Amino acid sequence: GSTPEQPVEIEVTRIVAGTPEVIMITPTPEVVEAKPFRVAIVMPSSITDAAFSQSMYEGLLAVQEEMGGPEKMEIAYSEGMFNVPDAASAVRDYASQGFDLVIAHGSQYGSSLQQIAPEFPETSFAWGTSLDTFQADGITNVFAYQAEAQEGGYALGVLAAFMSKSGIMGVCGPVEAGDAKLYVDGFVTGATVQNPNATVQKTYTGSFSDVALMASAAETHIQAGADMLTGSSQSVVGAIGIAKDNGAYWFGTQWDQTALAPETVVASQVYDWTGVIKDMIASRQAGVLGNKSYTLTFKNGGLVIQYNPGIDVPADAKAAVDAAIAGIMDGTIDPLKGPVQ
């Protein structure tokens, strides 16, 4: 992962305020007490899913190391919590065990958190991807976070279209919703802006875990002429394997997927949650238990395009990506619509 050394800009969206404000935070929160800061995370898939769950877990590990190891920060996790009531009881359990911060890492956990948070006013909670801190219900101890997945989608779409010889790209999605959908929409926009003649084919397997069907989906894309593939969820590993076998390129999201297939993965949009985590910790230590929402963007460094050093990406392609990122950062490009006229 990438742990920026400089101060991170975090965009904090206050629902009340309506306009995002930018605050500066210090990289390492001061830990005053001797007892460690205790973080628990509950997640739908596993800490090694090469996707959403792993991105957050590794973020926690990075912060832990920065803070000085397990003595300074304790991390507990519950994985495989696809069933929401199970996740809710895990969250409740952590809260009653006195954890400082309990992260419910899945948008489906929101409504449970809404019920649990008021029961534990001393505990900080966080959830994502969402921006809703339930402030409207008078809840003040919930953080919310989300990734502007479409931003990286746009950038990678540009890159894919640039590199594609056939002008055909394939997207392998799990279900048409949430973070995955945003990413895909961004990718389609980026690709078609870069190459107006480009075709972006989409498939959904209806499952977050069906690796084999995902592989078939990738195969179908390739047969239909695609030479650039992307997709989201933990099941894309299947598609990556197929891309590799067929000499197609892959673009990853949520986590740096290079290690899965070093000769296939061109670049990944990496979610870097360290800034968010550190700010939540710092806020809590400053007495603010919640009511802040965070968005990962290119601008605040939460989203990073990680290139695979093993693959030669033409300089002009990189330049196009850089231009796209710059455009997104300065607002001249809307990742879901294209350049703003």
Under rule CB under 8 A, which residues in 134-173 are in contact with other proteins? Answer: 170
- 292 belongs to the binding site for other proteins (CB under 8 A): no
With the C-alpha atoms ordered 319, 325, 331, 336, is the resulting torsion angle positive or negative? positive
- 132 belongs to the binding site for other proteins (CB under 8 A): yes
Strand partners, 253: 269
| Binding characters for other proteins, 46-85, by CB under 8 A (x = yes) | x-x-x---x---------------------xxxxx-xxxx
- 202 belongs to the binding site for other proteins (CB under 8 A): yes
Closer to other proteins by Cβ: residue 184 or 317? 184
Burial of 212 (0-12, 13-18, 19+ CB in 10 A): exposed
- 198 belongs to the binding site for other proteins (CB under 8 A): no
Stretch of 152-160, 196-204, 295-303, 327-335 contacting other proteins, by CB under 8 A: 196-204
The residue from 113, 139, 217, 289 that contacts other proteins (CB under 8 A) is 217
Stretch of 154-162, 205-213, 269-277, 284-292 contacting other proteins, by CB under 8 A: 205-213
Of 155, 223, 307, 254, whose CA–CA distance to 237 is shortest? Answer: 254
- 224 belongs to the binding site for other proteins (CB under 8 A): yes
- Residue 74's CB: how many other CB atoms inside 10 A? 16
Stretch of 212-220, 272-280, 284-292, 320-328 contacting other proteins, by CB under 8 A: 212-220
The residue from 55, 123, 129, 253 that contacts other proteins (CB under 8 A) is 129
- 313 belongs to the binding site for other proteins (CB under 8 A): no
- 326 belongs to the binding site for other proteins (CB under 8 A): no
- 89 belongs to the binding site for other proteins (CB under 8 A): yes
- 210 belongs to the binding site for other proteins (CB under 8 A): yes
* Footprint (CB under 8 A) of other proteins, residues 269-288: none
- CA-to-CA distance for 54 and 107, rounded, in angstroms? 16
